[in-house]
């Protein structure tokens, strides 16, 4: 079965850190660009970050720049989102997505994504 398996969410205090993982099962991520998205309660889904196939291009939404870092380990078929200095407004369900024809643009659009993870909840609260 072709799927993205997510892990790493949870409850963290403001200022804390979490690392989200997104592992591909049944296919290789080597030819796919990856995006991370999130959806907070009562809000629309928004792009958080993306990384190109080679890893040479990354983009972030303004509110997470300098705090979040996206990376990929093709040998492990896994993409990561390191989240530092977390704030209450980062609370959301986070999704990873992959697509061979997905272009990692500054707009963090979601066109061209073929596979989506099931999401992992990140709660930032004291």
* DSSP letter assigned to residue 65: T
pLDDT (tens digit per residue) in 102-113: 999 988 898 899
53, pLDDT greater than 90? yes
Q: Which residues lie closer than 8 Å to 74 by C-beta, 6 or more apart?
A: 28, 29, 30
pLDDT band per the 50, 70, 90 thresholds, residue 125: very high
58, pLDDT greater than 90? yes
Report pLDDT for 106. Answer: 86
* DSSP letter assigned to residue 37: E
Q: Which helix or strand (DSSP H or E) is residue 93 part of? A: strand 92-99
pLDDT band per the 50, 70, 90 thresholds, residue 1: confident
């Amino acid at each position: 079965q072709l799927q993205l398996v997510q892990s790493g969410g949870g409850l963290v205090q403001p200022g804390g850190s979490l690392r989200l993982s997104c592992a591909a099962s049944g296919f290789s991520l080597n030819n796919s660009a990856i995006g991370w998205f999130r959806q907070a309660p009562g809000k629309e889904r928004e792009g958080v970050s993306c990384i190109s196939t080679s890893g040479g291009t990354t983009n972030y939404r303004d509110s997470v720049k300098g705090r979040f870092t996206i990376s990929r380990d093709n040998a492990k078929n896994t993409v990561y989102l390191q989240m530092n200095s977390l704030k209450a407004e980062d609370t959301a369900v986070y999704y990873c997505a992959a697509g061979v024809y997905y272009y990692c643009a500054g707009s963090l659009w979601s066109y061209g994504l073929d596979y989506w993870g099931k999401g992992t909840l990140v709660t930032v609260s004291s």
